[in-house]
């Protein structure tokens, strides 16, 4: 286990209590202070003569709360002494690793969340990047090392430098720890995916969404189109659990390459048929595939949230008459993002011959920006007869 250059001894504040009061102290922590983390679990509790020394966390404000909570019940002293770190202590968060390693004002700015994709972590320094400090690179390196020490399977840390952009929905990444090898293996809902974090779109943040959609009730031999499949996480998870035939499209040749590999590497009940093309081409009257799939599809997944609305014509062209299911992802402004999403769809379905017969489900999947959310609408579309 990497120790971040920390020796196994460090100057620590202890609360010094008589042996016979130790149990009462621990009880007070539970009852009066609702088990808040006042004790530094990394450091060993010391026993010296008639006293027990409990190591305190670095947070002075919290220690003040602790003192306030117990001073009427116990005699104690706060002393500073050498603490010995626990062997094999498992750090629970990067903050815990970095306490004492980074200045307190910097600790407040370190990332609170990050994405782990197999051996790769992608981290965004949105708050840290706002400061003008000559040590910025050093702070980022420390965060990267902390990420590695908390997440044992991780070998490379990338900093996210841009939002996803362009037709292929890619983000700029810069390696800040480990080898610059963007290919990784990622397990999700019992499926295995190989992907390249620089050249394909992938987010682990849709894990529950993919589980939810792939666990919906599919008819036997249901035909599905996954319009914007990426490396295939929706398609492959659906085919893993259902005897469905899924046509999976992506315009990015790199995503297609991994999609093919992922289809080969996963055992599936159903079938995934991969196509490397722009789905708009299906509307071309000369498209053999377009003519073949026209009004044959029971269910369509549209996961290109910023632009799905511009591909509704393709969905209407493919959807089986008289009705089919649409899983529609879009970014919508707050407040009332779902109401706005439904209005947007109704407006764009006008004159298509199709309408929303039933809203099977609607929800905010995750916040997208301060002003908007990613939402999903599961809809039954019906053709006017």
Choices 68-76, 131-139, 180-188, 248-256 (CB under 6 A): range interacting with ligand SAM: 248-256
Per DSSP, what are the bridge partners of residue 355?
Answer: 382
Residue from 228, 258, 328, 368 touching ligand SAM (CB under 6 A): that is: 228
Kindly tell me which of 106 and 377 has the beta carbon lying closer to ligand SAM: 377
| 328 lines the binding site for ligand SAM (CB under 6 A) | no
* Residue nearest ligand SAM, Cβ-based: 230
Choices 65-73, 129-137, 225-233, 259-267 (CB under 6 A): range interacting with ligand SAM: 225-233
CB of 188 to ligand SAM, least distance (A): 10
Closest CA to 115 of 247, 190, 5, 204: 204
CB of 35 to ligand SAM, least distance (A): 39
Structure tokens, 343: 């209005």
| 89 lines the binding site for ligand SAM (CB under 6 A) | no
Q: Return all residues near 248 (Cβ < 8 A) that are at least 6 apart.
A: 225, 226, 229, 232, 235, 259, 272, 273, 274, 275
Kindly tell me which of 13 and 308 has the beta carbon lying closer to ligand SAM: 308
CB of 241 to ligand SAM, least distance (A): 16
Measured CA to CA, the distance from residue 159 to residue 56 in angstroms comes to 33
Closest CA to 234 of 270, 199, 281: 270
Choices 11-19, 30-38, 113-121, 247-255 (CB under 6 A): range interacting with ligand SAM: 247-255
Residue from 55, 83, 118, 233 touching ligand SAM (CB under 6 A): that is: 233
Choices 33-41, 52-60, 73-81, 224-232 (CB under 6 A): range interacting with ligand SAM: 224-232
| 56 lines the binding site for ligand SAM (CB under 6 A) | no
| 327 lines the binding site for ligand SAM (CB under 6 A) | no
| 303 lines the binding site for ligand SAM (CB under 6 A) | yes
Kindly tell me which of 21 and 372 has the beta carbon lying closer to ligand SAM: 372
Measured CA to CA, the distance from residue 292 to residue 186 in angstroms comes to 34
Long-range own/partner contacts, residues 278-284 (CB < 8 A, 24 or more apart):
278/251, 279/227, 279/228, 279/249, 279/251, 279/311, 279/314, 280/311, 280/314, 282/314, 282/317, 282/318, 283/313, 283/314, 283/317
CB of 272 to ligand SAM, least distance (A): 13
Residue from 223, 241, 252, 262 touching ligand SAM (CB under 6 A): that is: 252
Structure tokens, 194: 């190989």
| 280 lines the binding site for ligand SAM (CB under 6 A) | yes
Kindly tell me which of 142 and 299 has the beta carbon lying closer to ligand SAM: 299
Kindly tell me which of 304 and 312 has the beta carbon lying closer to ligand SAM: 304
Burial of residue 75 (CB within 10 Å: 0-12, 13-18, 19+) is: exposed
Q: Binding residues for ligand SAM, how many (CB under 6 A)?
A: 21
The length of the chain is: 385
| 262 lines the binding site for ligand SAM (CB under 6 A) | no
Site map (CB under 6 A) of ligand SAM, residues 150-179, x = contact: -----------------xxx----------
Q: Return all residues near 5 (Cβ < 8 A) that are at least 6 apart.
A: 101
Measured CA to CA, the distance from residue 187 to residue 142 in angstroms comes to 27
Helix (H) or strand (E) holding 250: strand 245-250
Choices 91-99, 108-116, 243-251, 282-290 (CB under 6 A): range interacting with ligand SAM: 243-251
Residue from 230, 290, 324, 341 touching ligand SAM (CB under 6 A): that is: 230
Q: CA-CA distances (angstroms) from residue 276 to 155, 194, 282, 298, 299?
A: 31, 17, 12, 21, 20
Helix (H) or strand (E) holding 377: strand 372-383
Residue from 251, 283, 289, 293 touching ligand SAM (CB under 6 A): that is: 251
**Site residues (vs ligand SAM, CB under 6 A):** 167-169, 201-202, 206, 228-230, 233-234, 249-252, 255, 278-280, 303-304
């Amino acid at each position: 286990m990497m120790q971040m250059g920390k020796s196994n001894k460090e100057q620590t504040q202890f609360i010094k209590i008589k042996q016979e009061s130790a149990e009462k102290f621990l009880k007070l922590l539970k009852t009066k202070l609702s088990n808040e983390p006042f004790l530094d679990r990394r450091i060993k509790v010391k026993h010296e003569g008639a006293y027990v020394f409990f190591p305190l966390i670095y947070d002075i404000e919290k220690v003040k709360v602790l003192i306030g909570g117990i001073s009427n019940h116990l005699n104690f002293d706060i002393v500073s002494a050498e603490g010995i770190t626990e062997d094999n202590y498992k750090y629970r968060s990067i903050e815990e690793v970095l306490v004492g390693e980074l200045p307190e004002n910097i600790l407040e700015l370190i990332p609170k969340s990050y994405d782990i994709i197999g051996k790769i972590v992608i981290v965004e320094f949105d708050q840290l990047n706002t400061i003008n400090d000559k040590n910025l690179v050093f702070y980022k390196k420390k965060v990267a090392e902390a990420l590695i020490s908390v997440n044992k399977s991780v070998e490379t840390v990338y900093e996210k430098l841009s939002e996803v952009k362009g037709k292929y929905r890619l983000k700029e990444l810069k390696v800040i720890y480990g080898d610059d090898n963007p290919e990784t293996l990622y397990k999700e809902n019992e499926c295995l995916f190989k992907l390249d974090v620089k050249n394909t779109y992938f987010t682990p943040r849709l894990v529950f969404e993919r589980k939810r959609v792939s666990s919906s009730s599919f008819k036997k031999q249901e035909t599905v189109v996954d319009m914007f499949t990426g490396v295939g996480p929706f398609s492959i998870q659906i085919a893993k659990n259902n005897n469905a035939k899924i046509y999976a499209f992506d315009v990015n040749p790199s995503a297609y390459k991994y999609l093919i590999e992922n289809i080969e590497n996963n055992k599936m009940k159903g079938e995934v048929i991969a196509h490397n093309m722009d789905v708009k081409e299906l509307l071309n009257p000369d498209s053999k595939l377009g003519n073949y799939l026209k009004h044959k599809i029971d269910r369509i997944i549209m996961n290109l949230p910023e632009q799905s609305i511009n591909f509704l014509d393709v969905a209407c062209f493919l959807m089986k008459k008289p009705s089919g299911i649409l899983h529609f992802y879009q970014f919508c402004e707050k407040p009332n993002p779902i109401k706005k999403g439904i209005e947007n769809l109704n407006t764009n379905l006008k004159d298509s011959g199709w309408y929303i017969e039933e809203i099977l489900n609607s929800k905010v999947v995750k916040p997208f920006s301060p002003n908007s959310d990613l939402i999903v609408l599961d809809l039954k579309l019906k053709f006017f007869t």
